[in-house]
Structure 1
Amino acid sequence: MIQIVPVDPNDGLGLFIDFPHDLYKDDPNYVPEIYSSQLELLTNYPVYGNSAVQYFLAYVGDTVVGRIATFIKLYHSDKIGPIDGYFGFFDCIDNKVVAGYLFDAASRWLRDRNAVSIIGPLNFSCIGPLGMLVDGFQLPPSFMTPYNSHYYPNLMDRLGFKKKTEVQAYKFTNQQYGARRSKDLDRFQVQLKRKGITFRKVDMKNFKRDVLMAREVYIGSQSNSIRVMSMKGNEFDHIAERLKKILDPDLCILAEEEGKVIGFAFAIPDLNQILIKIRRGRLFPLGLLKIKLGKKKISSVRIIFPVVLDSCDRMSIEACLFGSVQAGCLDKKLSFESSWTLKDNPLANNALIPITGEPHKKFRLYLKDIE
């Protein structure tokens, strides 16, 4: 008999966090999330994320066989009329009935809060893990990107979910940046400088100031970002503060016009190269030591695709931002993945393919009406 049990965030999150470790225990590509980070996220997100959240576990007898989180944005619920609901942290055995029970519970919870659709998966924001892996199962995930078993898309199709959008990740090696690209970058920067647009690294001594300006760009840009849901400033600030500890300022580039930030791009080290070796995401007794010893051995980063204000010369500025971060990767002999880019965004994809980037993973966001 299948039971769906609401999770008390003050008591039952341990089982919720640990279920994927058991589900993927025989999968060599699975990377466990750090337990303490997941606990902080699941506990505190409803506050800084301006959200109402409910977690569910699926049981058969005493055995956990699935999990899901569902949430709404509270600043959406103030609107008159229907709103969107979201799901994330979905993991399940290969069983349509179990998956169906989980989504039924999530949909009922959302319907009671005036939601007319359920969208996901996304783990609370468009900066963190977003979408369901539908191509690229043979590879481990890079940092802050999703991973799931190959049967997940089939479960979604059988449950009546439809594709909302797809995003891609491109893979590059440090050999894939030639002299021509370097000259193109120099030429673009010279042209933009004549227009008063310059580029600089993030100032770690004035990190909060730079984050505030980058936040305004992110919120003010609509056309070149994944816009599944809106994000308030305190969410962006919280994510930036969490990333600060691992950022390399040489790989965080801002575009400015008359002292105002109008675009940004940055790279984060692929900590998954270390986390894949940390059993069940526990930092103790040896996890912290593995991270400390392994950080200097990380050979790849993930570039967050440039975000530029819509009112600007997006194509040239994006090219310079991306090229500047890419050149930094070359100097440090790092390979990198670029994500996310919308699969139906020709501007972004046409910019990446000529520099021999290969789309090596694809992720899908799903949508279903709540009846």
Structure 2
Amino acid sequence: MIDHMEIEVREVQTKKDLKRFIRVSDHIFSSDPHWVRPLMAERLALLDREKNPYFRHAHAAYWIACHKGRPVGRISAQIDRFVYETTGRQLGHFGLFETIDDANVAQALLNRAEEWLRENGCTHVQGPYNLSSNGECGLLVDGFHTPPALMMGHARPYFQDHLEAKGYEKAKDLLAYELDLKKPLPPRLERFVNMVDRNDDYHLREIDMSRYDEELSTIIDIFNDAWSENWGFVPLTTEEAAYLAKEIKPIVSPHRVRICEVKGKPMGMFVTLPDINASIRSINGNLLPFGWLRLIRQLFLSYPKRMRTPLMGVRKEFQKSRYSAAMSMMMIEHTRREVVRRGADWSELSWILEDNFGMRKILEEIGCNVYKTYRIYEKALA
């Protein structure tokens, strides 16, 4: 164990510091065969206070722990005005937590984040969030044997031990389901979906890429309504939605994004994206000098075999309807057929709150299995 007097926790101040902060992961995960090294440009954009519209309603600080000049860990702390407004609590967040397997390093990082949050008026801390509940969230506590899917996190098993040793307790588990796309619906459920298909009040359509911004605005509107009463929910702003739409547009295809209309009103949405982590992993997160060529070739010259569904929802006014489950199954099934026809064979549907039993039942009925668990921790700041 490193002597705590030899650990220096430095705040990130410059762009050079920020790049070093991002590359701390290289030291932590160098021997982990399932880690996916993130693209530097994507991480810089996420953490840039000028570029990321998250910072219109939040502020954050980042720190690197060093021992004899060598990075041995990192952490962030965030305060989001929307969290205060939606929860009524002086609740701060921590995130981007990574450390070598050393209790003193972990403690030094957590102490600094907690101190900053306390100084800024927080009474409780929750996380990890990278940077909010609309980004990568939760600490991986089960499912270390496979790489993370697109926009999902990865961790070392010992991260959990160090958090819990510092007094952090489980607040909520988030579940990632996997689905064998080649497996058809059970006949009973296929009849259920077909029944809704034949109902003239219900119309399932692909998004219109010529109206991309308008269509994404509709999807985010459904998302904000459908998820508004869920634990940990923070709304996506118009700016954040536009930023997200721009970021994901290169990997959006109409046949993977569905809107379900009821009597002409958009009531449900389903967004599936190719799991490009497999391609990013093959270039080790390096676009230069020739990684971008390999990435383009893998993404556009052959159809991706792996998918992830990060967004799915039905408006609140329709969630109690007997057709709500059928709508969800219909969006899943129509998308499944299209991606399988083109060559996909696997998908992750994530994340799902552990106590969202309605959605869990739907996913398990169509053949999904939980294969990863991410945990949100919380602690009182005495």
Q: Which bin holds the TM-score, normalised by the shorter protein?
A: over 0.9
Q: Is structure 2 residue 323 aligned with structure 1 residue 318?
A: no
Structure 2 counterpart of 1:120, one-letter code = G
Match in the other structure for 2:75: 68
1:199 maps to a residue whose letter is L
Native 8 Å contact 2:220 2:236 kept in 1 = no
**Conserved in 2, the CA contact under 8 Å of 1:82 and 1:114?**
no
Distance 1:114 1:46, change over 3 A: farther
Among 256, 262, 275, the residue aligned to 2:280 = 275
Amino acid at match of 1:253: R
Q: Do the aligned partners of residues 79 and 31 (structure 1) sit closer, same or farther apart at CA in structure 2, a change above 3 Å counting?
A: closer
**2:61 paired residue number:** 54
Structure 1 match to 2:191: 183
**Secondary structure, in 3 states, of the residue corresponding to 1:241?**
helix
Deviation at 1:354, TM superposition (A): 2.2
Compared with structure 1, are the counterparts of its residues 322 and 81 closer, same or farther at alpha carbon in structure 2 (3 Å cutoff)? closer
Matched AA of 1:27: D
1:71-220 → structure 2 map (5 Å cutoff): 71-75=78-82, 82-178=89-185, 180=187, 181-191=189-199, 193=200, 196-220=201-225
State the number of aligned residues. Answer: 367
Give the one of 308, 311, 315 matched to 1:302: 308
Per-residue deviation, 1:282? 2.0
Structure 1 residue 341 corresponds to structure 2 residue 357: no
Which residue type is aligned with residue 9 of structure 2? I
**Amino acid paired to 2:288:** F
8 Å CA contact 1:46, 1:52 repeated in 2: no
Deviations 1:166-190 (A, max 9, x none): 1111112232124624433222233
| Letter in structure 2 aligned against 1:217 | I
- Kept in 2, the 8 Å contact 1:329–1:336? The answer is no
Q: CA deviation at 1:223?
A: 6.1
The answer as to whether partners of 1:58 and 1:67 remain within 8 angstroms in 2 is yes
What amino acid does structure 2 have at the position aligned with 1:197?
Answer: Y
Which ranges in structure 2 are unaligned for 5 or more consecutive residues? 1-5
Tell me the secondary structure at the aligned position of residue 58 of structure 1.
strand
Give the whole-Å Cα distance in 1 for the aligned partners of 2:232 and 2:126: 12
Amino acid at match of 2:304: I
Alpha carbons 2:227, 2:313 under 8 Å: kept: no
Aligned-residue sequence identity (percent) comes to: 24
Answering whether residue 357 of structure 2 is matched by residue 352 of structure 1, we say: no
Within a 5 Å distance, the mapping from 1:251-266 to structure 2 comes to: 251-266=256-271
Q: Distance in 2 between matches of 1:210 and 1:297?
A: 24
Q: Residue 126 of structure 1 contacts residue 227 of structure 1 at CA under 8 Å; is this kept in 2?
A: yes
SS of 1:263's partner is strand
| Aligned: 1:289 with 2:300 | no
Residues 79 and 327 of structure 1: CA distance in aligned 2, closer, same or farther (over 3 Å): closer
Match of 2:3 in 1: none
Moved more, 134-143 or 346-355: 346-355
Amino acid paired to 1:187: M
Tell me the alpha carbon deviations over residues 110-135 of structure 1, each in whole angstroms, 9 at most, x when there is no partner: 12222111111121233432111111
Question: Counterpart amino acid of 1:37?
Answer: E
CA change 1:46–1:84 in 2 (3 A) is farther
Structure 1: distance between partners of 2:242 and 2:63: 28
TM-score by length of 2: 0.90
Distance 1:184 1:174 in 2: 19
Uncovered stretches (5+) of structure 1, i.e. residues with no partner: none
Per-residue deviation, residues 297-324 of structure 1 (Å, max 9, x unmatched): 5211001252111111332322222222
User: What is the distance in 2 between the residues matched to 1:246 and 1:263?
Assistant: 21
Residues 99 and 106 in structure 2, CA contact (< 8 A), matched pair in contact too:
yes
Matched residue SS, 2:317: coil
Deviates more, 1:22-31 or 1:40-49: 40-49
2 CA distance for matches of 1:230 and 1:339? 18
Q: Distance in 1 between matches of 2:249 and 2:368?
A: 27
String of CA shifts for 1:185-242, please: whole Å, max 9, x gaps.
2222334x3xx33211111110111111222212222367563434323222211221
Question: d(CA) in 1 for partners of 2:354 and 2:83?
Answer: 27
Post-superposition Cα deviations, 1:225-284, rounded to whole Å, max 9, x if no partner, equal: 5634343232222112211111121010011234432221111101111111223x2210
Q: How far 1:79 sits from its partner (Å)? A: 9.9
Q: Distance in 2 between matches of 1:369 and 1:122?
A: 17
- Partners of 1:226 and 1:74 lie apart in 2 by 17
Contact 1:32 1:276 in 2 (8 A): yes
Equivalent of 1:12, from 14, 17, 27?
Answer: 17
CA distance in 2, matches of 1:153, 1:338: 24
Q: Counterparts of 2:305 and 2:87 in 1: how far apart (Å)?
A: 50
Sort the Cα spacing of 1:79 and 1:267 in 2 relative to 1 into closer, same or farther, 3 A. Answer: closer
| SS across alignment from 1:72 | strand
Following TM superposition, the consecutive aligned residue runs of length 4 or more in structure 1 with deviations greater than 6 angstroms are 77-81
**Aligned equivalents of 2:169, 2:101: Cα separation in 1:** 19
Letter in 1 for 2:105: V
